[in-house]
Amino acid sequence: MSGFKKNAAGLTAFALLVLVLPYLLPNEYYVNTLIFAFLNAIIVVGLNLLMGYAGQISLGHGAFYGLGAYTSAIATATYGLPMGAGLVLGIAVAVVAAYLIGIPTLKLTGHYLAMATLGIGVIAYIFFNQTIELTGGPNGFTGIPRLKLFGYEFESDLSYYYLVGGVLTLVVLFSLNLIDSKLGRALRAIHTSEKAAQVSGIDIARFKLFIFVLSAAFAGFAGVLYAHYLGFVAPSSFGFHFSVTLIVMSVLGGMANVWGGVAGAVFLTVLPEFLRAFEDIESIIYGGILIVCVMFLPEGIAGGITKLTGFRPGGRKADAEK
Amino acid sequence: MELSSYLQFFISGLTVGSAYGLTALGFTIIFNTTGVINFAQGEFVMIGGMLSVFLVRLPGIDLLPAILLAVAITTAIGALIERFTIRPVKNASVINLIIITIGVSILARGLAMLWWGKDTFALPHFSGITPINILGAFILPQSLWILAITLTLLVILKVFFTHTIFGKGMLACSFDRKAAWLVGIGVEKMVLFSFMISAFVGAVGGAILAPITMTSFDVGILLGLKGFAACIVGGLGNPFGAAAGGLILGVLESFGAGLVSSAYKDAITFIILLLLLFIKPSGLFGRADTERV
Amino acid sequence: MPKNNHALLSCQGVTVRFGGVTALDHVDFLAPKGNITSIIGPNGAGKTTLLNAVTGLVGTTGGAIEFAGRDIAALPPFRRGLAGVVRTFQNLEIFSNMSVLENVMTGCHRHVRYSMLDCLFKTPRYRREEKRCRDVAGEKLTFMGLADKKHLPATDLPFGSQRLLELARALAADPELLLLDEPAAGLNMKETRNLSRIIQRITQELKITIVLVEHDMDLVMHISDRVMVLNYGRTIAEGTPKEVQKNPDVVTAYLGEDEDE
């Protein structure tokens, strides 16, 4: 089972890297950047499963990130619920929302699906902005307690880093296992030929919904971790701009590749730290990346590496030229 | 509530609706010729408005030449976009095409922000700002300009598509590209033209609306979305439906903002869009698709 | 018409309309168990539409479709696949984002039994079922002569082998009824002969009932037990291959009216 060995090797290497990285960094500040990078990676891995493997699209995934963040924040800060409840509620709300939205939305395809998910993202953003009593509105929601589980409070940046790194490793592990199973094959089948998939007994609607909800769960989970790290959330972090950033990360890393998703997310989260004028030219870079990748590198960084070295880092060739 | 208030909502709805309609028309023209939804359509509107603002500020350039020049430049930009980002990947999957046009849209916005900054700008009204009193409602002259120009543009396009060879060729492409190609219609040229016409229509919309709604580097996003919503309302692929859809959406939004809540007015459009997509994606005037399996 | 009581698939009065076009007009069709029943007819006669109707990819505006005595007309396509009705496609529909082996393993889908939790944690049940699936897939590939190409990307195979791959995938589902939509299209003579042998082996060794839609007359006449002829959505003849070949209506349908008559 060489595929399994490759995955195991990759995961071990990654886990070691996560363990050791903070001590290689010149400045403790970068740990903070890596935390955000890993949070984004958690979402993008889910998005890759949805877009690269199952062939769907979501231009509004920031909504689920926001739902997870706000739900847990409100549950713990406003209602004083224990952290565990906040965590569960945050993910649950994202999951339920995705389920309800997904049923009608995933019947759509192509442009209609893209626009519907975009619309949902915008509606969520408007909701976060306007329900001021609940969410604090445009000024944001403050006073969110630091994450505390089983009595241990993740006070320091370093401890939070290891928490998020651990969650990411688990998420990657689960995603790789998912792909390498009948569920993964069903998803990939749906991507290339819905007709043939149905004939093989695959319930298309149910699978699309499943992967949509799963990717929303990842995003919701990341949202909870985000809220309890930053202590503060605002609608602007979850709007169209962020949803598009997620897409750029996914495309850059390689949509049909789990490790690609991690790479894309980390690269684009870390990049602004090194480009001082980044904020001004961010849109130009993102737009350029999308155009260049689709035209020349349909499988992103991961695809480029595969072509150069022949080594396939835990992904499958996406049908980008269909 | 008095008639004059209703009339006010109605007219302001038609005004904004014209912009939605023109944007929607741009979507439709490109969609009909290529099957692609150009996510960057809203940016044509933005560029038309922004360029007008900056050209008019240059010494020696009056309002009308500024607008004409802005529209011409935007049309050229539309051609460039087609030539360099769409034509090379014309056989890509739908998702990839969506991503490329999103990329173009972001890039355009980024460049606009770099050149012109983040401020909001106003274009001078075409014939002054003294409101005209119609049945108790106060209508800005610019609103009348908007409606008149939009209507004229619609008529010109209608004539173009039904009475000129080029226009008929583009319609042929929308029905069956291969057949059109087989009978000697230069499909590539049609595609280029469709982008240029869409850019033209969008830019005109941007220029005529800028005096009332102001313009800035990021007006494109929301306009694009609402323009698309208008397309769906009217039935994707139907130019008349697109324009009508835009007007309907503008009026609904205006009444919604006036009677219900102005804060949620954007949400109204999206909820309408979602409901339509879920229930009747073929819109008000579209045909239900009967596809040969 | 053969007697109904042994028919695995029974279509009665099936009508399909697209907008203004009547693609199938009250078509009766029987596929007796263990037989190879073919459907032939000129282009546009409605052959693929009939297969689409049976597999549920197209809705019917009238008529009944019964499989193994059960009315399946209301079932969504994937449920018919689960019930044991499997097909191949005229325009190849292999999964281009998977390897050859994975394509066939996907065909096994309905027989692989584990839950999401099993695959997330790679439990012993997952390993067991995956191995079984891989073995079955390997078996079907061997049957088709493609075993040595297991790990290649499916798109690397030449066209003829891709057709066999799709067939292997269909077999992996362990169907009772196999519908083949122009499987010989695009194949050369040698490949067609190979295909002919394989189809016969499927019926004889694997005891699978086959419905074959084809244009290749040699193939059809050589291996079919019975043949039905469609034209303009209507049945114009039905019988053994010899009977059908001699039927004047069939000859007219294919060759057109003689202008002098």
From the list A51, A290, A319, which residue is nearest B103 (CB)?
A290
Contact C238/C247 with Cβ under 8 angstroms? no
Please report which helix (H) or strand (E) contains residue B132, including its range: strand B132-134
- B35 backbone dihedrals φ, ψ, rounded to 5°: 80, 5
Residue B251 lies in a domain: no
Q: Which of A314-318, B3-7, B8-12 has maximum average pLDDT? A: B8-12
Cα gap C46→C64, rounded to integer Å? 17
Cα gap A205→C251, rounded to integer Å? 45
DSSP 8-class letter at C109: G
In percent, the amount of chain B with pLDDT more than 70 equals: 95
pLDDT tens per residue across span A272-302: 887 777 777 888 888 999 888 888 888 888 8
pLDDT above 50 for A316: no
pLDDT above 60 for C105: yes
pLDDT tens per residue across span B246-290: 999 999 888 888 877 777 777 877 888 888 888 887 777 765 554
Spatial neighbors of A201 by CB under 8 A, at least 6 apart, are C78, C81, C82, C109, C110, C173
Spatial neighbors of A186 by CB under 8 A, at least 6 apart, are A197, A202, A207, C106, C109
- Note the pLDDT of residue A321: 32
Residue B95 sits at the chain A interface (C-beta within 8 Å): yes
Cα gap B37→A141, rounded to integer Å? 37
Q: What angle do CA A315, A55, C114 make, to 5 degrees?
A: 65
In percent, the amount of chain C with pLDDT more than 70 equals: 95
Name chain A contacts of C55, Cβ cutoff 8 Å. 199
Contact A190/A202 with Cβ under 8 angstroms? yes
Of A264, A68, A257, residue with least CA distance to A172: A257
Dihedral sign for Cα A22, A25, A26, A30, please.
Answer: negative
Of C168, C42, C164, residue with least CA distance to C102: C168
Contact A220/A90 with Cβ under 8 angstroms? yes
Q: Which two tokens stand for residue C121?
A: 């944690």
Interface residues of chain A, partner chain C, Cβ below 8 Å: 174, 177-178, 180-186, 188-189, 191-193, 195-204, 256, 316-319, 322
Q: Name chain C's partners: 3 or more CB pairs within 8 A.
A: A, B
Torsion of CA C226, C231, C233, C236, to 10 degrees: -50
Question: Region A59-68: what's the mean pLDDT?
Answer: 95
Q: Name chain B's partners: 3 or more CB pairs within 8 A.
A: A, C
In sequence order, the β-bridge partners of residue A233 are A141
Cα gap A238→A140, rounded to integer Å? 11
Residue B225 lies in a domain: no
pLDDT tens per residue across span C28-56: 999 999 999 999 988 888 899 999 999 99
pLDDT above 50 for A83: yes
Spatial neighbors of A296 by CB under 8 A, at least 6 apart, are none
Please report which helix (H) or strand (E) contains residue A148, including its range: strand A148-149
In sequence order, the β-bridge partners of residue C24 are C16
Question: Region B198-209: what's the mean pLDDT?
Answer: 92
- Amino acid identity of residue A246, one-letter, is L
pLDDT above 90 for C20: no
Q: B114 and A244: CB-CB below 8 Å?
A: no
* Residue A299 vs residues B49, B100, B134, C67, C98: alpha-carbon distances, Å: 37, 14, 60, 44, 15
Question: Region B169-176: what's the mean pLDDT?
Answer: 72
Q: Which two tokens stand for residue B200?
A: 């033209």
For chain C, the straight-line distance linking the first and the last C-alpha, in angstroms and rounded, comes to 31
Q: B89 and A295: CB-CB below 8 Å?
A: yes
Contact A220/A91 with Cβ under 8 angstroms? yes
Cα gap B229→C114, rounded to integer Å? 43
Q: Which two tokens stand for residue A81?
A: 């619920």
Contact A153/A146 with Cβ under 8 angstroms? yes
- C230 backbone dihedrals φ, ψ, rounded to 5°: -110, 145
* Greatest CA separation for chain C: 75
pLDDT above 80 for B117: yes
- Note the pLDDT of residue C3: 45
- Amino acid identity of residue B229, one-letter, is A
Name chain A contacts of C122, Cβ cutoff 8 Å. 177
Residue B158 lies in a domain: yes
Cα gap B270→A237, rounded to integer Å? 20
Spatial neighbors of B49 by CB under 8 A, at least 6 apart, are B70, B123, B206, B207, B209, B210, B215, B219
Spatial neighbors of A314 by CB under 8 A, at least 6 apart, are A6, A7, A10, A176, A257, A258, A259
From the list C19, C49, C57, which residue is nearest B290 (CB)?
C19
Residue B289 sits at the chain C interface (C-beta within 8 Å): no
Name chain B contacts of C48, Cβ cutoff 8 Å. 293
Identify the band that residue C120 occupies on the pLDDT scale cut at 50, 70 and 90.
Answer: confident
Q: Which two tokens stand for residue A239?
A: 């709007």
In angstroms, how far is CA C143 from the centroid of its own chain?
A: 17
Q: Which two tokens stand for residue C257?
A: 């009216």
Average pLDDT, chain B: 84
- Note the pLDDT of residue A314: 41
Q: Which two tokens stand for residue B179?
A: 């057949």
DSSP 8-class letter at B26: H
Kind of pairing, strands A148-149 and A152-153?
Answer: antiparallel
pLDDT above 70 for B52: yes
Spatial neighbors of A26 by CB under 8 A, at least 6 apart, are none
Range of the domain at B159: 3-218
Residue B223 lies in a domain: no
Cα gap C102→C154, rounded to integer Å? 9
Tell me the residues of chain B between 107 and 146 that have a Cβ less than 8 Å away from chain A. 107-111, 113-114
- Amino acid identity of residue B236, one-letter, is L
Q: What angle do CA B100, B106, B110 make, to 5 degrees?
A: 145
Residue C67 sits at the chain A interface (C-beta within 8 Å): no
Tell me the residues of chain C between 155 and 214 that have a Cβ less than 8 Å away from chain B. none
Residue B279 sits at the chain C interface (C-beta within 8 Å): no
Contact A125/A67 with Cβ under 8 angstroms? no
- Note the pLDDT of residue A205: 92
Please report which helix (H) or strand (E) contains residue B244, including its range: helix B239-259
Contact A229/A147 with Cβ under 8 angstroms? yes
Question: Region A225-248: what's the mean pLDDT?
Answer: 93
Q: What is the number of domains present in chain B? A: 1
Tell me the residues of chain C between 38 and 67 that have a Cβ less than 8 Å away from chain B. 48-49, 52, 57-58
In sequence order, the β-bridge partners of residue C237 are C229
DSSP 8-class letter at C45: S
pLDDT tens per residue across span A125-139: 999 998 888 888 898
Kind of pairing, strands C62-67 and C177-181?
Answer: unpaired
- Note the pLDDT of residue B286: 66
pLDDT tens per residue across span A174-213: 999 999 899 999 999 999 999 999 999 999 999 999 999 9
**A47, A115, A275: best mutation site toward chain B, by most B Cβ within 10 Å?**
A115
Instruction: State pTM to two decimals.
Output: 0.88
Our CA-based measurement puts residue C82 at a distance from the nearest CA of chain A, in whole angstroms, of 5
From the list B93, B111, B271, which residue is nearest A123 (CB)?
B271
- Written as one string, the DSSP assignment of A58-107 is -S-THHHHHHHHHHHHIIIIIT---HHHHHHHHHHHHHHHHHHHHHHHTT
Residue B181 lies in a domain: yes
From the list A108, A112, A122, which residue is nearest B270 (CB)?
A122
The interface pTM score, or ipTM, of the predicted complex is 0.88
Cα gap A71→C213, rounded to integer Å? 57
Task: Identify each DSSP E strand in chain C by its residue range.
Answer: 7-18, 21-32, 36-40, 62-67, 70-71, 85-87, 177-181, 209-213, 226-231, 234-239
Contact C51/C87 with Cβ under 8 angstroms? yes
Q: B290 and C18: CB-CB below 8 Å?
A: yes
Residue B167 lies in a domain: yes
**Helical ranges in B131-238 per DSSP H:** 141-163, 165-175, 177-182, 187-213, 219-234
Name chain A contacts of B228, Cβ cutoff 8 Å. 115
How many residue pairs from chains A and C have C-beta atoms closer than 8 A? 104
Residue B287 lies in a domain: no
What is the residue whose two structure tokens read 């390997």?
A: C138
From the list B89, B99, B263, which residue is nearest A251 (CB)?
B99
- Written as one string, the DSSP assignment of B46-95 is HHHHHHHHHHHHSTT--HHHHHHHHHHHHHHHHHHHIIIIIGGGTTS-HH
